[in-house]
Amino acid sequence: MERLSARLLSWASLIDEKTLAQAHTTARMPFIHPHLALMPDAHLGKGATVGSVIPTLGAIIPAAVGVDIGCGMIAVRTQFAKSDLEGRDLAELREQIERAIPLSAGRYNRKVVATAESRIAELEELAEKNGFDPATCAGNWRLQLGTLGSGNHFIEVSVDELDRVWLFLHSGSRGVGNKIAGHHIAVAQKLAKRWWIDLPDPDLAYLVEGTEEFTRYIRELRWAQHFALLNREEMMDRVVRQVSEFLGTGVDEQERINCHHNFTESEKHYGKQVWVSRKGAIQADAGRPGLIPGSMGTASYVVEGLGDPQSLNSSPHGAGREYSRSAARRTFTHEQLREAMTGIEFRDTDAFIDEIPQAYKPIDRVMADAASLVSIRHTLRQLVNVKGD
């Protein structure tokens, strides 16, 4: 860990100057307490750095939570071993998963399936309790539950160091969460203009605790966080079902872990109750299980938090980009992607060039930087990769 200023601590050994400058700017906001913690996977983001932990007194910066509210990971350890998959057509399993779960931006379920009904009812009840109608943000939000999206979201079948099969996926609150985030970022920016608040970046506009705007944001934020959690649960149930059908026997879940990495919670740190916004970071209290994925084609990790107080009990959420999507497309080729995915069943298309492992920080370097934040329980190697283009 390196102290870069009184209000900025960094665990990142690989970081560019623009990302550092952005982190310094956010750390200078007057309500940061006690300091911003920059994770090993930190990279440039909207307003605030992706891979940062931002504790605030009496205010929240909506853009510092991230536009995909509640985005995170879920993993299930099954009773199966790698040998149970050997000799089988893994392309068939990939295609079964792709048929069961709508992939890519703007693609949703055609109807509400039976497994989603109780989860949608739970979200309807929560919305009504909070005086919030999600349909004002996305009229088809019910059809979004159980869908993956695109970008770095994925579904994987992996094996650990003991060759036990894990099911692993990454997604968030989909279009409805994005609309909620965008609305409140705009509200914060309008308030800054109304009150002549001079901001170093418009995306650092904030909402003040105790105001109507802040209260509404928290209610809708928590709804979106819960939507994201249930979205992952719904998709994982479908993956479990497809694996069961593929192998001809039911999945016995040995363990299930579900964790956010774009979220805000009220927590006590350094003697004060603060709002902790983890934008691309997971909660890593001592003993808390967590999930840190690598990039497409690389290792992922099941971890346990070490409760490092200086990190505000946090850890990285993944590898972190080194190349923007456009830069990756200019730099890398389809052949390089195929080489990186050797031995892994995936949909072989140039749509995923911007997700090539070389576009990200080396995950082993990120995990080495995070050694004081988490301990590694399991290292996962991909056998099947599913993504939306």
Instruction: Give the residue carrying structure tokens 């249930």.
Output: 230
Note if the bond before 55 is cis, omega within 30 degrees: no
264: which 2 tokens? Answer: 């805000």
Task: Please indicate whether residue 317 is annotated as part of the active site.
Answer: yes
105 in Cβ contact with 388 (< 8 Å): yes
Tokens representing 359 are: 């576009």
Beta bridge partners of 386: 155
Residue 72's beta-bridge partner residues?
171, 260
CB 299 within 8 A of CB 381: yes
57 vs 64: CA distance, rounded Å = 14
CB 41 within 8 A of CB 19: no
Instruction: Specify the 3-state DSSP secondary structure of 291.
Output: strand
Given 24, 317, 334, 378, the catalytic residue:
317
The span from the CA of 303 to the CA of 294, in Å, is 13
Q: How far apart are CA 62 and CA 66, in angstroms?
A: 7
The Cα 281–Cα 52 span in angstroms is: 6
Q: Is the peptide bond before 34 cis (omega within 30 degrees of 0)?
A: yes
Whole-angstrom distance, CA of residue 331 vs CA of residue 325? 10
Could you give the CA distance from residue 160 to residue 166 in angstroms, rounded to a whole number? 7
Compute the distance between CA of residue 130 and CA of residue 227 in angstroms, rounded to an integer: 14
How far apart are the C-alpha atoms of 304 and 289, rounded to whole Å? 4
- Catalytic machinery residues: 317
